[in-house]
Amino acid sequence: MNFPPSSGHSLRERARAPTDRELSEIPWLGGLDGLARERAEAALVVGDTPAGDYICRVGRPVTYWFGLLDGLLKMSNDDSMGPVITFTGVAPGGWFGEGTVLKREHYRYNIQALRKSLVAGLPVDTFHWLLDHSIGFNRFVMNQLNERLGQFIAAREIDRINNPDLRVARNLAALFHPLLSPNVGGVLRITQQELAYLVGLSRQRVNEALSALSDRGWIQIEYGGLRVLNLQALRSGEL
């Protein structure tokens, strides 16, 4: 997939305060009370990023904890480290990088927009303040870390799968994760080319895999996206 050149403008330069509707799409805000919620809402920013732009780059210091409100992102290694490997996709409602934020480290991965996306950011200092003052926020972050660990273990297993249909199925299951991508619901807006980019297969082979999964009744192909009919089968079913 070819992207247009990066605009050169950082997300911070395009940042603005979130609207009430955008705040309602942030899953962890509901677990905050009183001052904690006020601090979080006052600190949150949102910004549009065009396809091809990077939200996080390898080696850069962490400044925000990021979440995706709309669009599609991919997490990958840097091409200077050898062949590019996509670790996972990030679907709407997903928040990522909490481990890096916790340790205030430099990024060890890239996060790139596969299409025009709307991204939210919580400053690092506010993130740590919430950890110190909000039980609800701590619970969310702990659940995130736990689910993320399971996701990356599953990703290692996917790498060993030689059946392309199963590779597509497992990757779709990750994008429909109810806790890591809570705003996807039953339908994921994704093109076959975007899915091919995430899975590491050709668009033609992804199309064949989607047809096979549809024939089994696991998914339903809709205009501009996919509807999951059997998430458990995508996660663990055999072809």
- Per-residue pLDDT at 10 exceeds 60: no
**Averaged over 221-236, what is the pLDDT?**
89
pLDDT in the model for residue 133: 96
Q: Is 159 helix (H, G, I), strand (E, B) or coil?
A: helix
Name all contacts of 33-37 with Cβ < 8 Å and 24+ positions apart.
Answer: 33/134, 33/136, 35/133, 36/130, 36/133, 36/134, 36/136, 36/137
Q: Which of 71, 76, 81, 82 is nearest to 57 (CA)?
A: 76
- Per-residue pLDDT at 69 exceeds 50: yes
* 132-142: pLDDT as tens digits: 999 999 999 99
Tell me the β-bridge partners of 187.
227
pLDDT in the model for residue 224: 82
Task: Give the contacts of 19 (CB within 8 A, at least 6 positions apart).
Answer: none
**Superfamily the domain 11-153 falls into:** Jelly Rolls (2.60.120.10)
User: Which of 49-53, 120-124, 182-186 shows the lowest mean pLDDT across its residues?
Assistant: 182-186
pLDDT in the model for residue 81: 64
pLDDT in the model for residue 235: 85
Which residue has tokens 């955008």?
22
For residue 160, what pLDDT band results from cuts at 50, 70 and 90?
Answer: low
Tell me the β-bridge partners of 111.
56, 75
Cα 158 to Cα 29: distance, rounded to the nearest angstrom: 32
Query: Greater confidence, 105 or 236?
Result: 105
* 164-201: pLDDT as tens digits: 898 899 889 888 888 888 888 778 899 999 999 888 88
Of the chain, the end-to-end C-alpha distance in Å amounts to 29
Q: Is 157 helix (H, G, I), strand (E, B) or coil?
A: helix
- Per-residue pLDDT at 107 exceeds 90: yes
> Count H helices, E strands: the chain?
9, 11
- Per-residue pLDDT at 4 exceeds 60: no
Cα 157 to Cα 131: distance, rounded to the nearest angstrom: 32
**Averaged over 101-123, what is the pLDDT?**
94
Domain chopping of the chain, boundaries: 11-153, 164-236
Fold of 164-236: Arc Repressor Mutant, subunit A (1.10.10)
**Amino acid sitting at position 50:** P
Evaluate whether 15 touches 121 at the Cβ level (below 8 Å): yes
Q: Record the pTM.
A: 0.84
- Per-residue pLDDT at 239 exceeds 70: no
Query: Greater confidence, 87 or 31?
Result: 31
pLDDT in the model for residue 25: 95
Cα 217 to Cα 201: distance, rounded to the nearest angstrom: 22
- Per-residue pLDDT at 1 exceeds 60: no
Q: Is 49 helix (H, G, I), strand (E, B) or coil?
A: strand
Task: Give the contacts of 211 (CB within 8 A, at least 6 positions apart).
Answer: 221
The rounded mean pLDDT for the chain is 87
- Per-residue pLDDT at 79 exceeds 80: no
